[in-house]
Amino acid sequence: MWEGLSKVFSFQESLLSNFYYFPYEEFNKITAGELVMYEPEDIRGWEEFLEIDEYFEKAQEDIKSLYERNKGSVFFKRQLQIKFEKPYYHWITSNALMRLKNEGHIKTVEIKKKDGTSRTFFIHPSNRYYRRVINRYNKIIDEYSDSDITRSCGHRAEDLFCLALTERGFRFLGKNTREFKGKKWEKTGHDLDFLLERNNNFWGCEVKNSLGYIDKKELMIKLEMCEFFKIRPLFIMRGSPTNYNNEIIKRGGFALIFEAQIYEISQRKLVKKIKEELDLPVDCPKAIPSGIIQRYENWLVKNNL
């Protein structure tokens, strides 16, 4: 049934990696070789078909090579996910890290947080002088993870994209809403960030200004909401995997991707630390660069919308 498996591994062993990979074309005939993520409960009984794909193996080799070249470096998972996000989805990098750790190519250092949970850093096994770097990184992560900071980042991105879309002729019909034209979404407690209109075309807009991907379940619910209201979805996201974008496109929508997480201008010092110390894509722009919105404009013109 499943040809060309590069390696099959046992269910117990696979639990160490948390996620499971199947050739995407076996489930949806979209792109051969593209992978889709499944949680353990989604695939009970399929143990004999679990595989490590060549794509996954390549991710392991690239990460392993990074550590061999930089044996004194310290990284955390989100940092590596973003460093490798152009060739690999975040969950593939995550799984590759766990596999490399289990095979002894890298090791982990757990740092306890105030809330009782822990934060994991990944180092080369030969690295003996990592504590100072981890302590420095940990302070910066705590700072940008503060709820006030994350909330202000979300609001700032929404404000800037609202302004940019308004300048392109869009009209705002609602914010944080679950009602449209007499219909009310009651299936879940979710709402849409914005309702937009231009040229008598209506859009349900979501802005996700985070280093990680939008939650897949949230994505599907918001798409279902747009279908319920009979409007097109517009997802504006810092980063997003191709198969998420395909879900948006299949519903007549658009995925507008920007690369740098947006911060308030008042957070310049923090942004500088994040860039220089952690090498993460962050910025505090005064406005959205016109080229980002132009990609959406070009698509609208092409599709007569």
Q: What's phi and psi for 255, nearest 5 deg? A: -105, 110
Long-range contacts, 50-53 (Cβ 8 Å, 24+)? 50/8, 50/9, 50/11, 50/14, 50/20, 50/21, 51/2, 51/5, 51/6, 51/7, 51/8, 51/9, 51/21, 51/22, 51/23, 52/6, 52/7, 52/9, 52/21, 52/99, 53/6, 53/21, 53/23
CATH top class, domain 147-302:
alpha beta
pLDDT tens for the chain, 305 residues: list them.
333 333 333 332 333 333 333 333 333 332 323 333 433 333 333 333 344 578 889 999 999 999 999 999 999 999 999 999 999 999 999 999 999 999 999 999 999 888 888 999 999 999 999 999 999 999 999 999 999 999 999 999 999 999 999 999 999 999 999 999 999 999 999 999 999 999 999 999 999 999 999 999 999 999 999 999 999 999 999 999 999 999 999 999 999 999 999 999 999 999 999 999 999 999 999 999 999 999 999 999 999 99
Half-sphere exposure of 3 (CA within 13 A, CB side): 0
The domain ranges of the chain are 11-143, 147-302
Question: What pLDDT does residue 46 have?
Answer: 35
List 207's β-bridge partners, or say none.
236
Give residue 34's pLDDT.
Answer: 36
Q: Residue 40: its pLDDT value, please?
A: 37
Q: What is the pLDDT of residue 70?
A: 95
> CATH: 1.10.3210, 1.20.120, 1.10.3470, 1.10.10. Which one for 11-143?
1.10.10
Sign of CA dihedral 122, 215, 140, 269: positive
**Rounded CA separation 183/163 (Å):** 27
Q: What is the pLDDT of residue 55?
A: 83
Question: What is the rounded distance in angstroms from the CA atom of residue 171 to the CA atom of residue 295?
Answer: 19
Residues 260 and 44: beta-carbon distance below 8 Å: no
